[in-house]
Structure 1
């Protein structure tokens, strides 16, 4: 056969004996990036997502997972997914709020009572209403993963109450709610990507940061931070986002499978974090961190909760924050 005839056979999907396996459809490879360490639940859940998707698709869909910011910072991976050079980006909700400001409602301080409240919001009508917010930016929300309840660390002093936060240089996300809250507390909030944070604390560019204890441990922040205060001042979700262009290019059955596997893995990832939290606190103590286990959260909430919620309501309406507060109450 001529080369033209061979190409025609391949294009038609003909499994000619003399072509062996070369005429079979090639597996579709998806690239998945996130900024967290490979010891973190995000990486373990991403690998579970990859394994499950490969098994359910009989090898037609494979996922290559890049952790620890290997493909760039939080904004870089989001931009890459929007542009179609990356298939799936996973990072914190605060980094998406520049594209979809209404998502900022999930980051309001002292809003979520516990993880049961979080699940009722994210997996219910409110979550369903928020998921389409990113589609205009070329992204599809496959699920809300868990970062967790944020706690404050720093290298200068123990934080027992709101007054102790005053004057600290605190790395935050670029989220307006986080920035506003620390401004109200008299701190100096400095937004930066997660991938730059360890070095910033090591060089004392910032005094501290705020993240869940599981991530504080997995990122080894205890090596450059002495004090941990269990403030639990805000909850942060992670958004598992896929390039809309890439998802819609897949056959319908594969699109449905990607969505189904993401929905299956999402609660498992949250459970990983919930189960790891008590042990992470104990381990941080073993590593030498001085832990304030019962700070005066009320002194902080009185300063920031209503003020930041009102700021959001003034921009985007009070419907969403009020709905979150009333969910499960």
Structure 2
């Protein structure tokens, strides 16, 4: 009997050992609008590797790229509903949930990547992320999208006035719409997932995005001209569903946070390296690139001043003042 009992116990232990890890493993679906070889996609994969390491294999992340699970708005909504675990939307798409996020995109406000890091990794950035849990979201970190540039299929942009009359696709966000309207463009909001075909079919003349996105999305195939306008700094937010977060143990939460922190450093380095090479690659692919002279960027700033003033109030005067004051402190420390 003792032998049979030991055999049964060993068999039970073996079955538990085999079934345990599979049963305990949680796979987080991460949806993004960009391709899997874009720096954002590479960073999500890195996050998944780090998460598996730090959780002892209990947590894993699986990437769903190229808008296969929807666009930024629909995926964020899925997180709030608990039907998707993670996504990495542009911060501008969160304005409808927490208007303060809009201040990040105020035109010609953030000057360098280093300023952006100091601002978003500090108390100001954390204050923004703290507004998300009540909306059913947990913000883990800010990732870099980069400074946005304008492309089009009609003409080179050598001065601010050249933007007038172009039909430009913009993010579905009033600040972006009014910014390009102030520059004289016909601003046309649409989801990113529809953009390539819209340019291919000449439904829009152009678009505005960072160089890494322009290259990775192969917009050079349907665009002729690009100007390095750096008109808006753009950030992504690494988001997790609060319903998913609330189901984690304390150890799992720590693993997620630690993986997010390391993946953020990886993402920023990756996208900056990629962006440095992007301009040369885009030129090689035939895109004609012009640089907006400082005097013309100053003219652009003047045209956009009423928009900055209006949206500083709309997004929250206190938040806007806090951001501008923090940027001044960051610049003073240089």
Q: TM-score of the superposition, structure 1-length normalised?
A: 0.92
Q: Could you tell me how far apart the structure 1 residues matched to 2:208 and 2:20 are?
A: 53
Secondary structure of the corresponding residue to residue 19 of structure 2: coil
Unaligned runs of 5+ in 2: 1-9
CA-CA distance at 1:15 after TM superposition = 8.9
**1:263 equivalenced with 2:267 (yes/no):** no
Q: CA deviation at 1:17?
A: 3.0
Summarize deviations over 1:76-126 as a string: whole Å, max 9, x none: 111111111100011111111111111000000001111111111011111
**CA–CA distance in structure 2, aligned partners of residues 322 and 146 of structure 1:** 19
Q: Once structures 1 and 2 are overlaid, which stretch shifts more, 41-50 or 129-138?
A: 129-138
Aligned position for 2:321: 319
Secondary structure (helix, strand or coil) at the match of 2:130 reads helix
- Asked if 1 retains the 8 angstrom alpha-carbon contact of 2:103 and 2:312, the reply is no
| Inter-partner Cα distance in structure 1 for 2:263 and 2:11 | 36
The 3 A distance-change label for structure 1 pair 58 and 161 is: same
Match of 1:3 in 2: none
Change (3 A) 1:62 1:207: same
> Contact between 1:53 and 1:261, CA under 8 Å: does it hold in 2?
yes
Unaligned runs of 5+ in 1: 1-13
Find the partner of 2:164 among 142, 166, 176. 166
Match of 1:11 in 2: none
* Pick aligned residue for 2:19 from 9, 18, 22: 22
Are 1:95 and 2:93 matched, yes or no? Answer: yes
- The Cα offsets for residues 28-71 of structure 1, whole Å up to 9 and x where unpaired, read as 11111111112210011100000111112111111111111111
Distance in 2 (CA, whole Å) between partners of 1:86 and 1:169 is: 34
Structure 1, 168-177 or 104-113: larger mean CA deviation: 168-177
C-alpha separation in 2, matches of 1:55 and 1:178: 40
Is residue 150–residue 233 contact of structure 1 (8 Å, CA) maintained in 2?
Answer: yes
Cα distance in 2 for partners of 1:324, 1:156 equals 40
From 172, 177, 180, the counterpart of 1:179: 177
Quick check: 1:195 aligned with 2:193?
A: yes
Q: Deviation at 1:133?
A: 1.9
State the shift of 1:320 in Å. Answer: 3.2
Q: CA–CA distance in 2 between the matches of 1:185 and 1:57? A: 49
Is the Cα–Cα contact under 8 Å of residues 104 and 175 in structure 1 kept in the other structure? no
**Residues 15 and 194 from structure 1, CA distance in 2 versus in 1: closer, same or farther, beyond 3 angstroms?**
farther
Report how far residue 285 of structure 1 moved: 0.5
Higher helix proportion (structure 1 or 2):
2
Shift of residue 178 of structure 1? 1.4
TM-align CA RMSD: 1.6
Measured against aligned partners, the alpha-carbon deviations of 1:180-209 in whole angstroms (never above 9, x if no partner) come to 211111111111111111011111111100
Contact 1:170 1:190 in 2 (8 A): yes
Q: Distance in 2 between matches of 1:116 and 1:19?
A: 53
Q: d(CA) in 1 for partners of 2:159 and 2:134?
A: 41
The answer to which of 214-223 and 130-139 deviates more is 130-139
Aligned length: 315
